[in-house]
């Protein structure tokens, strides 16, 4: 039966151009066995060179001129070629489904055989650490015939997309939901800009805690503080205990509060620490695969504290030849690529410049090290604190870039801050005096100014 499906696939590859163009990009020579592999390779070379199907005669001539084929292989090939150039009516949908299943089966078989050689120590290049990636790639084999969106032909699909509610991670803060149309969608990079000590980690810890309570799986990657310090901040937030009182709680009380919390949510939170400046998107990708394999944990959202002290997986070998603009932009692109690959939102943060630290109206120009970061982020906002805001227990948020909504709407707003419990909260509507940036003109004065003007 295995030989028959191989022969059917190869026959249709050689006689049905429409089928060939659909499936050829997904079929590897290693999927075939024996003489079928030889014929597939020669046919693939011909199609790649002339962009059309070979005839039986041209295929035999190509085989004759090939120096990589033995006399025995040539004889077997010429014996089977007449059978491959016969045309038979066959259901196209069945053929495509059967071809995809056959490719998946062959990919898994090859991956298992290669894994055995790795385990036995007979593989020349790969080690046991490559096994998860090897098997996951084999399991992920699938045909994807989509090569682009046709504006006219795909109009109906586009209309459905406009009316499909996108999966989003919502906030427990009203104005953040307003500016993001209900929360941050998947495949996005979201950046908080703030000066030292203003509240970058506080903000991310609060959003991580609220996502956990909402039943989401949360991964918090820290390169600035220890894992326990991040967990301590989240404890203060979720257990409603001032952070300086956590060490004064009895073990029984602490355990009871954590257990009560675990019964209220189906989500999980994992905090992973890396040394400052040593981890990049490759390490994070490996961590995600390891968590899935060992803990059956797949995050719904990732927090990285913070972007500027990550390293780049693409530029690590260039040494002093890298400038900060290129380097930070590369890190941002890699993290956004990671968000797209795993279909989830990533939150991170960056520092303001020295002038931005004392600026009460921070702008994109106050982004430290690289202006390439705002160019890559989907959402970027500044967290601003002044002495007056601190006295009121508040923090100002200013939109800097927003791909989800109009950034001129609610451009500035304030949120409440309880630093002792590492918590943010909505303030009364009366305190929102910064949300309208539209200039207000005195109509009476304007009318007087132009009353003598004539066209």
Tell me the per-residue pLDDT of 59-92, one tens digit each, with 9 for 90 and over.
889 888 887 788 888 888 888 888 888 877 888 8
What's the mean pLDDT in 111-128?
A: 85
The CA distance from 164 to 160, in Å, is: 6
Alpha helices of 214-345 — where are they, by DSSP H? 227-239, 251-264, 281-294, 324-342
Cα–Cα distances (Å) from 41 to 20, 32, 76, 88, 227, in that order, read 14, 10, 15, 23, 53
Say whether both 247 and 361 belong to one domain.
yes
Distance CA 168, CA 181 (A): 9
Supply the CATH number for residue 195's domain: 3.40.50.300
Mean pLDDT across 164-172 = 87
Q: How many CB atoms lie within 10 A of CB 432?
A: 17
Other beta carbons within 10 Å of 405: 15
Please determine, for residue 450, whether its predicted confidence score (pLDDT) is greater than 70: no
β pairing state of 379-384 and 423-425: unpaired
Bridge partners of residue 394, in order along the sequence:
416
245 near 194, Cβ under 8 Å?
no
Which among 110, 181, 81 has a CA at the least distance from the CA of 402? 181
Instruction: For residue 326, tell me if it sits in a domain.
Output: yes
Q: What spatial distance separates the first Cα and last Cα of the chain, rounded to whole Å?
A: 89
Same domain, residue pair 89 and 219: no
In a domain, 443, yes or no: no
Q: Which two three-digit tokens encode residue 55?
A: 């005839």
* 163 domain-assigned: no
Q: Are 213 and 262 in contact (CB under 8 A)?
A: no
Give the whole-angstrom CA distance, residue 37 versus residue 43: 10
Residue that terminates a domain, selected from 95, 120, 139: 139
Give the pLDDT confidence score for residue 444 in this predicted structure. Answer: 47
Range(s) of the domain holding residue 388: 168-431
Instruction: Indicate whether 320 pLDDT > 80.
Output: no
Alpha-carbon separation of residue 435 from 107, 178, 385, 428 (angstroms) = 56, 12, 16, 13
Q: 311 is written with which tokens?
A: 């390293």
Q: How many domains does one find in the chain?
A: 2
Contact 407, 401 (CB under 8 A): yes
CA within 13 Å, CB half, 345: 24
Q: Per the domain annotation, does 156 fall within a domain?
A: no
Contact 126, 134 (CB under 8 A): yes
Query: What is the rounded distance in angstroms from the CA atom of residue 184 to the CA atom of residue 177?
Result: 8
- Within-domain flag for 446: no
Same-domain status, 129 and 182 = no
Residue 450 lies in a domain: no
Given 139, 159, 183, the domain boundary residue is 139
441 pLDDT band (50/70/90 cuts)? very low
Structure tokens at 114: 């290669």
Residue 192 pairs in a beta bridge with: 349, 381
Same domain, 117 and 177: no
Q: Which tens digit of pLDDT belongs to each residue from 327-350?
A: 889 999 999 999 999 999 999 999
Quote the pLDDT of residue 149.
Answer: 81
In the beta sheet, which residues pair with residue 272?
221
H or E element that contains 397:
strand 394-402
- Mapping DSSP to helix (H, G, I), strand (E, B) and coil, where does residue 224 land? coil
Look up the CATH number of the domain holding residue 67: 1.10.860
CA angle 362, 211, 395 (to 5 degrees): 25
**Dist CA 426 CA 417 (whole Å):** 9
Residues 210 and 134 in one domain: no
Checking if the pLDDT of 439 tops 90, the result is no
Is residue 377 located within the same domain as residue 234?
Answer: yes
**CA-to-CA dists, residue 424 to 237, 314, 357, angstroms:** 9, 37, 21
Compute the distance between CA of residue 175 and CA of residue 271 in angstroms, rounded to an integer: 27
Average pLDDT, the chain: 86
Give the tens place of pLDDT for each residue, 380-407.
999 998 888 888 899 999 999 999 999 8
CA angle 173–177–181, rounded 5-degree value = 180
Domain shared by 235 and 129, yes or no: no
Task: Report d(CA 334, CA 326) in Å as an integer.
Answer: 12
Q: Residues 219, 345: one domain?
A: yes
Phi-psi map region of 319: left, alpha, beta (phi>0 left; psi -120 to 50 alpha): left
Say if residue 446's pLDDT is above 70: no
Q: Tokens 């982004």 map to which residue?
A: 367
CB 40 within 8 A of CB 62: no
My answer on whether 130 and 184 are in the same domain is no
Asked if residue 111 and residue 173 are part of one domain, the reply reads: no
226 domain residue, yes or no: yes
pTM of the prediction?
Answer: 0.69
Query: Is 328 within a domain?
Result: yes
Question: Is the domain of 103 the same as that of 11?
Answer: yes
Say yes or no: 109 and 232 in one domain.
no
Mean pLDDT lowest among 79-88, 191-200, 430-439: 430-439
**Distance, CA of 355 to CA of 261 (rounded, Å):** 42
Average pLDDT over residues 196-217: 93
């Amino acid at each position: 039966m295995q030989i028959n499906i191989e022969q059917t696939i190869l026959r249709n590859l050689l006689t049905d151009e429409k089928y060939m163009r659909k499936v050829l990009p997904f079929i590897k020579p290693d999927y075939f066995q024996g003489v079928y592999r030889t014929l597939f390779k020669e046919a693939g070379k011909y199609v790649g060179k002339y962009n059309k199907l070979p005839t039986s005669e041209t295929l035999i001539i190509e085989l004759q001129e090939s120096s990589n084929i033995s006399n025995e292989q040539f004889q077997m090939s010429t014996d089977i070629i007449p059978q491959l150039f016969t045309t038979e009516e066959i259901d196209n949908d069945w053929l495509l489904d059967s071809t995809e299943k056959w490719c998946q089966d062959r990919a898994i078989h090859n991956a298992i055989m290669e894994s055995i050689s790795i385990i036995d120590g007979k593989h020349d290049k790969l080690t046991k650490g490559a096994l998860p990636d090897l098997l996951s790639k084999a399991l992920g084999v699938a045909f994807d015939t989509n090569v682009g969106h046709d504006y006219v032909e795909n109009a109906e699909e586009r209309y459905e997309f406009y009316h499909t509610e996108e999966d989003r991670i919502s906030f427990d803060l009203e104005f953040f939901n307003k500016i993001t149309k209900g929360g941050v969608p998947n495949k996005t990079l979201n950046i908080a800009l703030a000066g030292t000590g203003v509240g970058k980690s506080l903000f991310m810890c609060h959003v991580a805690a609220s996502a956990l309570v909402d039943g989401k799986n949360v991964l918090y990657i820290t390169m600035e503080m220890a894992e326990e310090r991040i967990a301590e901040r989240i404890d203060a937030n979720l257990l409603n205990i001032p952070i300086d009182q956590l060490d004064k709680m009895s073990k029984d009380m602490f355990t009871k509060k954590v257990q009560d919390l675990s019964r209220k949510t189906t989500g999980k939170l994992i905090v992973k620490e890396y040394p400052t400046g040593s981890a990049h998107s490759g390490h994070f990708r490996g961590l995600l695969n390891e968590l899935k394999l060992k803990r059956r944990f797949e995050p719904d959202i990732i927090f990285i504290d913070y972007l500027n002290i990550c390293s780049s997986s693409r530029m690590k070998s260039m040494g002093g030849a890298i400038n900060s603009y290129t380097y930070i932009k590369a890190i941002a692109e890699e993290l956004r690529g990671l968000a797209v690959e795993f279909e989830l939102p990533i939150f991170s943060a960056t520092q303001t410049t020295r002038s931005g630290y004392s600026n009460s109206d921070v702008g994109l120009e106050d982004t430290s090290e690289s202006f390439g970061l705002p160019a890559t982020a989907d959402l970027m906002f500044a967290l601003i604190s002044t002495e007056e805001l601190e006295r009121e227990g508040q923090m100002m948020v200013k939109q800097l870039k927003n791909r989800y909504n109009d950034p001129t709407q609610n451009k500035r707003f304030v949120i409440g801050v309880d630093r002792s419990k590492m918590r943010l909260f909505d303030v009364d509507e009366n305190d929102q005096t910064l949300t309208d940036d539209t200039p207000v003109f005195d109509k009476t004065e304007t009318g007087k100014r132009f009353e003598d003007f004539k066209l």
